[in-house]
Amino acid sequence: MTPEHSGMDGIIANVGPGPSALAVDVGGTIVKSALVDAGGSVSRPSRARTPREGDVARGVVEQIARLLDQARQDHPDREISALGVAVPGIVDEDAGVGVFSENLGWRDRPLRRMIEDRVDAHVTLLHDVRAAGEAEVQVGAAAGHDDVVTVAIGTGVAASSWACGRPIRGRGYAGEIGHLRVTDDEVPCVCGGVGCLEAVASTAAIERRYRSLAQDTTVDGAQDVIHRAVLGDAIAQRVWSDALDALAAGLASITAVLAPEIVVLNGGLSLAGDALVDPLTVRLAERVRLVPAPRLVRGLFAADAGTVGAALSTRRPRLASGDSTRGESNP
């Protein structure tokens, strides 16, 4: 299976032959959906707001059902018989249960069964960060590599890892790199700890720390902080440098344990491009000693990686996880 880059007739990837399908990536604010044809071509995703009122799990299920109905109406010549859905939080993929999502406010919801009760299609349910990692490993930036870490840096920070070509799930707990302690500073984290990677280097943390230090409420997200740093804003430079140091420390720990060949950077922060990859490569190399430093690259699919991973899930009967998967990333 080889990637087809976006811009070619609206096709962003090819996931191989199988049933015509709909791939859905549910995020905290945006739901993305893409048609997958029988040849495996994945269309450029459409986007809609994630339902946030009332019973959010039920609202998301109803939205997915409407998306599938609309896809079938728009493409009556295709028998869309499979549905791949990626969701955030803690996910028991075998049981099809959304165990917990802080951002969407559900706990122990049988999402796969709820969807199956509403649609006539074979449904697979998987975790969004692992879906994104699967996309990059199978048909994206890490294709051809066996030892891989993919890191999603958005509102939160989470990872998925492969060793010898096999995903590492750790009974559902693997991937919580956002809660590695990476600084002696007593920066509080949502997990209850202090000095966590997510508390310093997530997109939310970068904006929050700049607003606090600069007493400036006009800043518009992490990308704006990075832009101000490039232009010479001393406070922005400090915040961005702290974030890079935290990311380098976290990746150095992962490198010492897993020795990945390649680390793929996804999520909102990856949009910084060379402003992220270049200095992070240098800082990581300064921290790594006996284990070779991995190559850092941006993900091929960026914000659409979860949708491609959901499309890949429709190419097999059921993801053979046997575990829950933790970690959360919001677009």
What CATH number corresponds to the domain at position 194? 3.30.420.40
Number of domains into which the chain is organized: 2
Q: What is the pTM of this model?
A: 0.85
Residue 184 forms part of a structural domain: yes
Do 310 and 283 belong together in one domain?
Answer: no
102 and 65 share one domain: yes
Gyration radius from the chain CA atoms: 19
What are the two backbone dihedrals, phi and then psi, of residue 286, each rounded to the nearest 5 degrees? -70, -20
- The pLDDT tens digits of the residues spanning 159-182 come to 999 999 999 877 666 788 999 999
Residues 162 and 127 in one domain: no
Confidence of residue 156 (pLDDT cuts 50, 70, 90): confident
The tens digit of pLDDT for each residue in 33-79 reads 999 999 999 999 999 999 999 999 999 999 999 999 999 999 999 99
Alpha helix ranges (H) inside the chain? 56-74, 111-116, 128-139, 197-201, 203-214, 221-230, 234-258, 274-287, 305-313
- The residue-averaged pLDDT of 91-106 equals 87
**Is residue 260 domain-shared with residue 313, that is, in the same domain?**
no
Q: Are 153 and 71 found together in one domain?
A: no
Q: Is residue 280 part of a domain?
A: yes
Bridge partners (DSSP) listed for residue 84: 23, 124
Would the pLDDT of 319 be above 90? Answer: no
149, 288: one domain: yes
- Region of poorest pLDDT, from 57-71, 94-108, 139-153: 94-108
Residues 258 and 315 in one domain: no
Kindly state whether residues 160 and 287 are assigned to the same domain. Answer: yes
The pLDDT value recorded for residue 171 is 64
Judge if 118 and 252 occupy the same domain: no
- For the record, the structure tokens of 150 come out as 């993919």
**What pLDDT score does 327 carry?**
45
**40/101 same-domain check:** yes
On whether residue 189 sits in a domain, the answer given is yes
Say what the pLDDT of residue 56 is.
95
Per the structure, the complete domain to which residue 128 belongs is given by 11-133+304-325
